Amino acid sequence: MQNLILLLFAVFFTAGSYLLLAEWCKVPTYRTSRVILSMGKRQKKQARSSDAFIMEFAAKLSKFLPMDTYKKRKLEAILRSAEIAMTPEVYMAQAYIKAGMILLSIIPCIVIFPLLTPAFLIVGIGVFFSESGKAEKMVRKRREEIEYELPRFVATITQELMASRDILSMLETYQKNAGRAMKNELIITTADMRTGNYEAALTRMEARVSSAMLSDVVRGLIGCIRGDDGVTFFRMLSHDMKQLEIQRLKRLALERPPKIRRYSFLLLACMLIIYMGVMGYQILGTMSGMF
């Protein structure tokens, strides 16, 4: 009973001290942090209390997190392409905190069930690599989505160039029927073209996506802006991209049979289990009738 009273006293004393210090240091509440995070996110998903706590702690830890210039510039470009409103230090600090929270579970695990310690260690390392590479995965996914649409985009530009040389009008027309990733890039690019230089806007689009296929398209568009005859170039480019699309579809078709075979084996296993269960039930019924 005395130990329980001491434990409750320690808990309430710590909580009261934290609240007083937070009020004195003007620390924002978790509700305020959640509202700010929810407003900053593009998705309509409400931020959790844990996200607010992690973000607040990451902002403080980022001040003491060393990072070399090259890695910082590379991560800044990735975060900008992924549309994540974080500094490189805060982003990496967030990954360290999430992994550290998993690794801290090892301490009670050693006391209660030591055999689970390696599992928590592996999960913590996996969480770190997953969180630190999340922005790069988002950029890669968006780049693949844009590259998937490029053959149709190039074919449309090829047809439009036969009647007009207005690159801005072509992009705005295609933007209405483009996919989500391509549409977002075209919205940014067309707005940039209206307020600045056409070539600079297209070059910035190329830098944001970081795709070799899109670089060829941008090079052709810049050539059209400079007065080159881009019809022949885009015809050849459309032919090459159609060949790449056919190869990609063949590769996807080759990946289907192993997946289907896997489910076929599962179906066969279920049928065998049912068959063996019926046989076992009949055998047990026959044996019970004999005795």
Share of the chain above pLDDT 70, in %: 79
- pLDDT confidence band for 44 (50 / 70 / 90): very low
Give the residue extent of every domain in the chain: 1-32, 47-132, 142-245
**Res. 52: pLDDT tops 80:** no
Quick one: which of 75, 127, 119, 122 has its CA closest to 101?
127
- pLDDT confidence band for 24 (50 / 70 / 90): low
Share of the chain above pLDDT 90, in %: 0
Quickly tell me which residue has 């009670």 as its tokens.
108
Predicted confidence (pLDDT) per residue in 190-216, tens digit: 998 888 888 999 998 888 888 888 888
Residue-level length of the chain: 291
Mean pLDDT across 215-231 = 87
Quickly tell me which residue has 């710590």 as its tokens.
14
- Report which residue type is found at 248: R
pLDDT at 261: 65
CA pair distance 275, 265, nearest whole angstrom? 15
Predicted confidence (pLDDT) per residue in 235-290, tens digit: 888 888 888 888 877 777 776 666 566 667 777 778 888 877 777 777 777 766 66
Average pLDDT, the chain: 79
Mean pLDDT across 123-127 = 86
CA pair distance 117, 15, nearest whole angstrom? 30
CA pair distance 205, 262, nearest whole angstrom? 41
CA pair distance 178, 265, nearest whole angstrom? 40
